[in-house]
Amino acid sequence: MNTAINLATQIKERLLARNEILETFFSNEARTLAEACREMAERFLKGGRLLAFGRGCYSTDAQHVSVEFVHPVIVGKRALPALDLSAAMQPWLSAILRPEDIVMGFGPPEGDGEVWAALDFSHTRGAMTFALPGISGAYTLRSPVQDPFIHQELVEIFYHTLWETVHVFLEHRELGQDVGHAEFLYPFLGQKKQETSAIIDDVAHSILVKVRDDTALRRRLANEEAEQIGEAALAIHRRLALGGKLILFGNGGSATDANDWALDCILPPAGHRSIPAISLSMEPANITALANDVGTEVIFVRQLMAHARPEDVAVAISTSGGSRNIVMALEEARKRKLLTVALLGNDGGEIARRGLADFPIIVRSDYIPRIQEVQASTYHVLLETLEVLSRDHA
């Protein structure tokens, strides 16, 4: 009991410590971000694309950016062209880069020389560049922390904010698009250029509001779920001690979080032990074969049937708590006596109502970007807690 109480206290402190760092950073950067988003909107309207890349766990940020821009979570927002070039960043850029493009490179707090070289190349070709982090480019992020987990959480809020804010400028029409007689129905797509400099302050304020919403959710999670996160960590630790592994899965942005979590386990930051983990969301050939031949609802359960052992832990990430393929995988995990953990949004959805997770951890929001940002803090803190437990039992 004392162990669980101590863990819950530490978890709460870790979650709350993030809030001051994040609010301070975005308070200082909000206006600069708003101005960067205006230029991004200009480039998208000229036919530019967002090209993103990173190495190791930072490749999952490129995956996440791509899915956010191509498949917007808000109904009615336009799909914007974005690609993850992490597999071969420099050769791919050499082959496809155009001057109107936007190039985004991700790395650890200290930076990544290979990523910086690709960004410098992109700059010489006229592209707008984001160094996340870095010291040169159209936007350079100088990370306020050396902790790689908090750094990555900050960056996730950063690119969610970019995605949300770019649409503000697109709808206020920085550049003209001729839609003929339909202009009166869609004024933001009209032929007449609309002035956006006057809305920069409003947009900057909106960015701060979003970040404060995020910190309020993280505060609520710390107050309501710290004990549950600690109990989940203890249960996972016991399974790992038996030789188990984490089996992670999610859809869309949650797929990239599952991939990130798995990579954080096998490529841990300095001072952390490696943890056996796989992500079922990192298998495009399996996913597309199953979706094509059977249906999207089996893309995880079929893989789980192939990989699961009784000592394993099935970890689902879902902002809705109701995706059919997630539900089916957890049902199968239950049958096979796996420990089940779920990071959920809203009210936990069907997964929480049916008790399909031994440890449901719920971010109580209905807005996907904010849920995902706080879920990232959750699994990072859970990994930190597992490291504490490993040291205590070494």
Q: How confident is the model at residue 188 (pLDDT cuts 50, 70, 90)?
A: very low
pLDDT digits (tens, 9 = 90+) for 118-153: 999 999 999 999 999 999 999 999 999 999 999 999
The two structure tokens encoding residue 339: 């420990």
Strand 277-279: give its sheet, edge to edge: 277-279, 246-250, 313-318, 339-345, 359-363
User: Do residues 152 and 260 touch, judged by C-beta distance below 8 A?
Assistant: yes
How far is 113 from 119, CA to CA, in rounded Å? 10
CA distance 138 to 132: 11
**Token digits of residue 374:** 């706080």
pLDDT of residue 179: 36
Instruction: Give the tens place of pLDDT for each residue, 13-49.
Output: 999 999 999 999 999 999 999 999 999 999 999 999 9
Q: What is the pLDDT, as a whole number, of residue 2?
A: 67
| Mean pLDDT of the region 195-205 | 79
Q: Is the pLDDT of residue 63 over 80?
A: yes
Question: pLDDT-based confidence at 195, cuts 50/70/90?
Answer: low
Per-residue pLDDT of 109-127, as tens digits, reads 999 999 999 999 999 999 9
Element containing residue 313 per DSSP (H, E): strand 313-318
Domains of the chain: 16-211 (3.40.50.10490), 215-392 (3.40.50.10490)
CA of 223: how far to CAs of 150, 220, 347, in Å?
A: 19, 5, 16
- Contact of 342 with 189, CB cutoff 8 Å: no
What tokens were used for 30? 């909000």
Band the pLDDT of 75: cuts 50, 70, 90: low
Backbone φ and ψ of 156, nearest 5°: -65, -45
Report the distance separating Cα 148 and Cα 230, nearest Å: 21
**pLDDT value, residue 184:** 38
Do the Cβ atoms of 49 and 82 come closer than 8 Å? yes
Per cent of the chain over pLDDT 70 is 92
Model confidence at 3, in pLDDT bands (50, 70, 90)? confident
- 15 phi and psi, to 5 degrees? -65, -45
Residue 275: helix, strand or coil by DSSP?
A: coil
Q: What is the pLDDT of residues 240-291, one digit of tens each?
A: 999 999 999 999 999 999 999 999 999 999 999 999 999 999 999 999 999 9
Whether residue 177 is predicted with pLDDT greater than 50 in this model: the reply is no
pLDDT digits (tens, 9 = 90+) for 331-384: 999 999 999 999 999 999 999 999 999 999 999 999 999 999 999 999 999 999
pTM: 0.92
Closest CA to 255 of 60, 386, 76: 60
Q: Are strands 277-279 and 313-318 parallel, antiparallel or unpaired?
A: unpaired
pLDDT for res 287: 98
How many degrees, rounded to 5, is the angle at CA 173 between CA 172 and CA 175? 155
Note every long-range contact of 388-394, with CB atoms under 8 Å and residues 24 or more positions apart, other chains counting: 388/7, 388/10, 389/7, 389/233, 389/234, 389/237, 390/237, 390/273, 393/237, 393/241
The whole-chain average pLDDT of the chain stands at 92
Q: 78: which DSSP letter?
A: P
Respond yes or no on whether the N-terminal peptide bond of residue 133 is cis (omega within 30° of 0): yes
> What is residue 392's predicted lDDT score, i.e. its pLDDT?
84
